[in-house]
Amino acid sequence: MSLLISASTNPPNLENLLEYIKKLDNTDVDYIHCDVMDGKFVKSTTFNHKIVKKIKEITSKKLDVHLMVQKPSNKIKKYIKSGADILTIHFESYKNKNKLTKDLLSIKKGGTFAGLSFNPTTEIKEILPFIYFCDMLLVMSVTPGKSGQEFIESTFDRLKEIKDYLKHQNIEVTIEVDGGVNNKNAKTLKENGVNSVVLGNYLFTSKDLKGAVNLIKNI
Ligand code: DX5
Ligand code: ZN
């Protein structure tokens, strides 16, 4: 099976963003990956649920919303209403881990896929107990905050740890990798059991968008 592609929303301003999303509509990407940053969880600020709603209105693709925010709990409903098909929250946003479980379950309740993401510095054994409450693991392969960073190679060891655990527990969860993915590392990611990749800079800087998408799809 081909890798699923979730195209990241990294253009510099809203006008460019909406234009880029329209272009993506004519390609074989599977999802639009909406990187929501609040300037607190990460330094940058991007956009909120209102823009996610706008994106939903102009694309036929599904929305994969990645919340890099300090306090996700009171925002979950808004993003679901705005059209998120997958809604991902960060492990590090929660001091109270019972609340994390509750929020993952509340995302799933209405039929939206629940994603759990975690930073490259978070130990895999910390996130494993929450795997049972989510549909997708969004494995960060860069420090969250901006596009165009280099892929962290130790992600492969982390993926192995996750895959071994899933196999042992006999459960299936989609694995998406986010950060620094390109035509050079996508094949190895696929060979390591990754189902889906986020593509930011690789697609955004390509001269032939359709071709760049197809290259990854044919890996
Ligand atoms: C990083 C974001 C990523 C990023 C991906 O904080 O979550 O989705 O925009 O961009 P590239 O592929 O350029 O690393
Ligand atoms: Zn992301």
Share of the chain above pLDDT 70, in %: 100
**Which ligand is in closest contact with the Cα of 212?**
1
Q: Per DSSP, what are the bridge partners of residue 36?
A: 67
130 neighbors 110 (Cβ within 8 angstroms): no
- Structure tokens that stand for 216 in this block: 């990854």
Q: Which ligand has the minimum distance to the alpha carbon of residue 147?
A: 1
Q: Is 12 a residue whose pLDDT tops 80?
A: no
**Domain-wise residue ranges, the chain:** 4-217
Atom of ligand 1 nearest to the CA of 66: 7
| pLDDT value at residue 172 | 96
Contact present, 115 and 153 (Cβ < 8 Å) = no
Model's pTM, two decimal places? 0.98
pLDDT of residue 13: 82
Ligand 1 centroid vs 177 CA: distance in angstroms?
Answer: 10
- Residue range 143-190, pLDDT digits in tens: 999 999 999 999 999 999 999 999 999 999 999 999 999 999 999 999
Q: Name the maximum alpha-carbon separation found in the chain.
A: 47
Question: Would you tell me which CATH number, out of the four given (3.30.70.580, 2.60.40.10, 3.20.20.70, 3.30.930.10), belongs to the domain 4-217?
Answer: 3.20.20.70
